[in-house]
Amino acid sequence: MMCPVPLVTTDKVLLGHGSGGKLSAELIESIFLPAFRNPVLERLDDQGVVSIGGAKLAVTTDSFVVKPLFFRGGDIGSLAVHGTVNDLAMGGAQPLFLTVAFILEEGLPMDTLRRVVDSLAGAARAAGVQIITGDTKVVEKGSGDGIFINTTGIGLVPEGVELSASAARPGDCVILSGPIGEHGMAILSEREGLEFETELESDSAALDTLVAAMLATDRRIHTLRDPTRGGVSSSLNEIARQSGVGIEIEESAIPVREAVRGACELLGLDPLYVANEGKLIAMVDAAAAGAVLAAMRSHPLGRDGCVIGSVTAAHPGMVTMRTLLGPSRIVDMLAGDQLPRIC
Amino acid sequence: MKYIDEYRDAKIARALLAGLERKTTRPWVLMEICGGQTHTLMRYGIDTLIPPQIELVHGPGCPVCVTPLEVVDKAIQIASQPEVIFVSYGDMLRVPGSATDLLRVKASGGDVRIAYSPMEAVKIARANPERRVVFFGIGFETTAPANAMAVLQAKREGLRNFSMLVSHVLVPPAISLLLESPANRVQGFIAPGHVCTVMGYWEYEVLSKQYRVPIVVGGFEPVDLIEAIGMLVTQLEEGRAETENQYVRAVSREGNRAAQKVLREVFEVTDRKWRGIGMIPQSGFRLRAEFAEHDAERIFGLADTVVEEPAECISAQVLQGLKKPVDCPAFGVRCTPEHPMGAPMVSAEGACAAYYQYRRDSVKSS
């Protein structure tokens, strides 16, 4: 059974409130949901889906505060497109439009801004989305961190597509689209100036065409999630909780590239909790799993896709993992950020 | 990945477990000293795979857990001063002091930074001559040499704005204390591999002789631990009491002499209070007088305070292997990683956190 977790009483916002872990969930449940509550928001999906004039619109918004602004495999500009496009795609929506708001810090080199904007424009073109409106604010030096970007995305959900984090069912296969932890470790190694033999590169990518290929193959996909902040474990825990199901995964089935594994081992971090920006988790009816996986594997962003576990009626709300030696253990959601260990 | 995969190999583990099964004829109580080892045992469920006659109790070797509340409070006081840049390993930031923790000090405007090495703090001191940079030097013999190097480097460069809040602790005196306790049940120890990488294991041979207790220096991967348990049981079944080395790929009898030399140069042995256990004579390091100008305790002149632990918390017994985390009425109910009462719930390597993270379902239903 689950233990009642006491609310973290804190009179100040902590960095952990933005980690995507339990503290983030508490912030949403104790402050945002009570204030804004409505049936669309209550689903707590990555996007809100509303019907307007017979069309099903998906709307999502995301803010990007990444440091460093440029990293191997991407930058804050491309990330601001991919993150929002992916949140739409996880609802099965075809992304159509983006809005972009910049919060710039006084003194930011114009050349830096130009590079970010060029990258953002390129990523939007590649993903087939138009930027239709925007906003700019400048804050005093010291009140920002170079560039913060917010993007809002609007997409169209095709008729008959109903994906939700609350729709996973016992018996579903859990499919992961590729190796995990690449974005988070790439950012961490650049931010901290850590050097590894193999270079780590962010997996930042727009997943809308992968999702379209999956849905074109079989509609019996119940849930899609992109495991960003908090990693695969946080996404699985959210799905388990929102769908009222248990999830069982196999440690030996979870793909992690050597470079990421090495960096995680060195820092005492668990790749299951490290952020991804170009991966998805799918809960798929077992009868459709083979076809969906085949469709994923024939797409460049899903070629390393694999089944990592299944959904069960046992232990609702909880994620467990069969370890390499056989016994199962809980895969919990972290309270805040993973902190590198002392030894 | 070399040196990892073969030590997580299920086939090798199964063969070792079968051997252990064959040689175990009686009940034995074993203690792994190090929190990293506790973590591996729980994470892979090794305690459920070994013969039921073997009971594993968890030792005091989590540096975050045994750092006394008073020292955490001192760290918080120092970090709250506006001219200070306080630098620490990440997992000390969440440890609650008597009123707050370093993460909250940071949220209130304190300049608290996470480092991966104490040399980063030296670098920060070099770059910020007008600020006072304090590194939180905690841990066992494992982390002590790097901290000693940082102090030496700061002294060499004349970085008078760099200091260290030292609360280092040593493993062998804690093992002595446990063995001398009338309540002791432990019949064999898995000694901490990382500590022995630095210090070697000759000190443990002395303990084996003195207390007639088998000790095996163990690594941190599942196969390491199953093998170390097997070596201990072999000794116990044969009536031997020696120190043996399972972690041969990293540990030699003499240890890392260069590191030991730096330790002697910078630190001297002192009495230390351990959180949950109390004062243990000659169980820690402090900076030698020559390094007084880099000693944060002296520079900031903070008075010793006496702080009470929550009465309900049984971390003292947990850290001494007398009780299991699940024996605590507060476990998982009033004490969780989000709301820890005692230190073993704070650090990921603490015994209570390891049980909570990996096991609370089976624990609560049993």
Question: What domains are defined for chain A?
Answer: 46-156 (3.30.1330.10), 173-330 (3.90.650.10)
- Report pLDDT for A6: 35
- Report pLDDT for A8: 47
How many interchain CB pairs under 8 A, A with B?
118
Contacts of A327 in chain B (CB under 8 A): 44-46, 48-49
Q: Domain limits at B12?
A: 5-62+179-192+201-245
Intervals of chain B under pLDDT 50: 363-366
Within this chain, do residues B121 and B240 fall inside the same structural domain, yes or no?
Answer: no
Compare all CA atoms of chain B with the CA of A336 and give the residue at the minimum distance.
B338
Within this chain, do residues B156 and B183 fall inside the same structural domain, yes or no?
Answer: no
Residues B303-361 pLDDT 10s: 777 777 778 888 888 888 888 999 999 999 899 887 788 878 877 778 998 899 888 76
Q: To the nearest whole angstrom, how far is the Cα of A160 from the nearest Cα of chain B?
A: 38
- Does A323 contact B44 at a Cβ distance shorter than 8 Å? yes
Within this chain, do residues B31 and B87 fall inside the same structural domain, yes or no?
Answer: no
The answer as to whether B275 is a domain residue is yes
Q: Give the C-alpha separation, B85 to B134, whole Å.
A: 6
Are the CB atoms for B276 and B318 separated by under 8 Å?
A: yes
Compare all CA atoms of chain B with the CA of A337 and give the residue at the minimum distance.
B90
- Report pLDDT for B312: 87
Location of structure tokens 């990440």: B90
- Measured in whole angstroms, the distance separating CA B359 from the mean position of its chain's CA atoms is 21
SS3 B285: strand
Q: Which helix (H) or strand (E) holds B64?
A: helix B63-66
- Report pLDDT for B366: 34
A1 vs B43, B357, B365: nearest CB: B365
The answer as to whether B123 is a domain residue is yes
Within this chain, do residues B142 and B44 fall inside the same structural domain, yes or no?
Answer: no
Q: To the nearest whole angstrom, how far is the Cα of A253 from the nearest Cα of chain B?
A: 14
- Report pLDDT for B364: 41
SS3 A214: helix
- Report pLDDT for A342: 62
- The pTM score is 0.87
- Report pLDDT for A4: 31
SS3 B235: helix
- Report pLDDT for A341: 64
- Does A1 contact B103 at a Cβ distance shorter than 8 Å? no
- Report pLDDT for B340: 81
Contacts of A3 in chain B (CB under 8 A): 332-333, 336, 360, 364
The answer as to whether B309 is a domain residue is no
A positions 73-132 inside 8 Å of B (CB): none
Tell me the one-letter amino acid at A41. Answer: L
Q: Which tokens go with B314?
A: 């049984």
Within this chain, do residues B237 and B261 fall inside the same structural domain, yes or no?
Answer: no
- Report pLDDT for B345: 86
Are the CB atoms for A335 and B59 separated by under 8 Å?
A: no
SS3 B190: strand
> pLDDT tens digits, chain A, 343 residues: what are they?
223 333 345 788 888 898 888 888 889 999 999 999 999 999 999 999 999 998 999 999 999 999 899 999 999 999 999 999 999 999 999 999 999 999 999 999 999 999 999 999 999 999 999 999 999 999 999 999 999 999 999 999 999 999 999 999 999 999 999 999 999 999 988 887 777 666 799 999 999 999 999 999 999 999 999 999 999 999 999 999 999 999 999 999 999 999 999 899 888 889 999 999 999 999 999 999 999 999 999 999 999 999 999 999 999 999 999 999 999 999 998 877 776 666 5
A342 vs B49, B108, B143: nearest CB: B143
- Report pLDDT for B291: 97
- Does B92 contact A265 at a Cβ distance shorter than 8 Å? no
